[in-house]
Every structure is written in C-alpha cells, then in structure tokens.
Amino acid sequence: MEWREQTSVTCEDAFTEAQRWMEEVTNKSFGSNNFRSALENGVLLCHLINQLKPGLIKRVNTLSTPMAGLDNVNVFLRACGTLGLHEAQLFHPGDLQDLSTR
C-alpha cells in the first residue's frame, strides 16, 4: 500500500498546515490569497528564511513583476541549499508560476 493510501491527509490539509506554520513563523498573513498565489512572488519565502536564519537573505525584491518573483524564489532556493537542504527536497521555481501564464 502506498503512503498516499495510508494517510487521510489531503494536499489541501498539508497546504493549510504549511500556511498556518509560515504565518506563525513570519508573523505575516497570506491574506485572501491561496497557498500558491501567496508564495508566487517569493517575498514570504524570503521572510521565512530570514526568520529561521536572520540575515541569510540580504535583499528581497519587492517589485511586482514576474521576474522579481522568480528572482526571490531562486534566492529562497539557494538559501535552502545553504541551510543544508538538497535539490531533490525542493520545488522547482516554475511550480509557483500562475498556470494561466504558461
């Protein structure tokens, strides 16, 4: 039996718990955005890293452009590597992109 069949936790449950934890750690709300939309620009992800290891991310790009968001997500992923996570444990930057723009 696969793990997915053994657990009653849905993706939505996992997203809700991850969002709750991130909001608690960063003291920032996702607002009315869904999980992916709230993380798409990478700002909350960068704030999360800086709560876990202050000063690791020196600059967060606050421009509201897709390139700025991609920059922040890439900075976040590099910081995760610095913290010891392996590439296989991380998502791909495109995973957060709005599917309607692909």
Return the CATH number at 94: 1.10.418.10
At 10, the pLDDT band (50, 70, 90 cuts) reads confident
Residue 100 has pLDDT above 50, yes or no: no
What is the average per-residue pLDDT within 91-102?
Answer: 70
What is the average per-residue pLDDT within 68-76?
Answer: 95
72/4: higher pLDDT: 72
Q: Which two tokens mark 99?
A: 């599917």
Phi, psi of 31 (to 5 degrees): 65, -140
CA dist., res. 85 & res. 38, Å (int)? 22
Q: How many domains does the chain have?
A: 1
Range of the domain at 84: 3-101
pLDDT at 2: 60
Could you tell me the pTM of the whole model? 0.82
What percent of the chain shows pLDDT beyond 70? 88
36/73: higher pLDDT: 73
Instruction: Identify residue 51 by its one-letter amino acid code.
Output: Q
